[in-house]
Structure 1
Amino acid sequence: MSETIYERLGGEDAIAAVVDRFYERLLEDDRVAHFFEDVDMRRQRAHQTQFLSSVAGGPVEYSGEDMQSAHDHLDITPSDFDVIATHLAETLVEFEVEEADRAAVMEAVAGYEDDVVTVAAD
């Protein structure tokens, strides 16, 4: 049986490190930092780690709110989504994740775009 992306990334601790760096990048970016102003970032990081572990094939089931409910009130535009996705992709590069694994993670994340984007194209 072949390894899952979760295993190749190094499991939950490694994914948590990627998530921490990802949120550092987002909070430093004035284009998207405002989405996290009133957010419990410890909880947010835990949810994101669980979510990415799940989409990477880990033995983790995401138990957070469904994506649409979680993002409904945020007025996220397609360009906001692109900025956030770019930060994730660049973080995966920074952590030297193999190109095929990066592509698979980004494809999985892209599958949630319709649920996350709540405002028509800007």
Structure 2
Amino acid sequence: MALPLFERLGGFAPVSKIVLLFYHKVEESEDLAEYFEDVEMGRLIDHQTKFIASLMGGPASYDDATLQRIHEPLEISEQAFDDMAELLQETLEDFDCSPEDVATVMHEFRRRRALVVHP
């Protein structure tokens, strides 16, 4: 049985680098930056590192109910979710993740759309 991407990458340290680049791209996006204006980015990056790690087969830290509760007041649109997904995929590709690994992570990310999108 193949090791999960989380383990093949080497754990939290490399995943944290992926998340840092991802959020750099998000902050550069005119359409997405507004969602993060009043957010303490260090704290968010810590949480998102754990979340992205869970999408890669690492230790899970959020259940579906928690994801929904956290995102509901943010009024995230379908387009914003799609834009985030595009940036995440681009970031994974920047880190030379295999097409199969990218597809797996993106499937897990998109599977949570209904928990995150609350227009």
Give your verdict on TM over 0.5: yes
CA deviations 1:27-62 (Å, max 9, x no partner) are: 00010100001111001000000011112111x231
Which position in structure 2 is the counterpart of 1:61?
A: 60
Identical columns (%)? 36
Deviation of 1:74 after TM superposition, in Å, equals 1.1
User: RMSD of aligned C-alpha atoms?
Assistant: 1.4
Show the counterpart of 1:76.
76
Q: Which residue of 2 aligns with 1:47?
A: 47
SS at match of 2:18: helix
For 2:30 and 2:47, the matched residues in 1 are separated by: 22
What 5-or-longer segments of structure 1 have no aligned partner? none
TM-score (norm 2): 0.93
1:5 lines up with 2:5 in the alignment = yes
SS, match of residue 51 in structure 2: helix
- Cα distance in structure 2, aligned partners of 1:57 and 1:24: 24
Alpha-carbon distance between aligned partners in 1 of 2:3 and 2:12, rounded to the nearest angstrom: 14
> What does residue 89 of structure 1 align with?
89
1:104 counterpart = 2:104: yes
Q: What TM-score, normalized by structure 1, do the two folds share?
A: 0.91
The residue identity in structure 2 corresponding to 1:67 is L
* Contiguous gaps of at least 5 residues in structure 2: none
Aligned to 1:26: 26
Q: Provide the aligned length of Structure 1 versus Structure 2.
A: 118
Structure 2: distance between partners of 1:79 and 1:49: 23
* Aligned residue type for 2:49: T
* In 1: Cα distance, 2:62 partner to 2:89 partner: 24
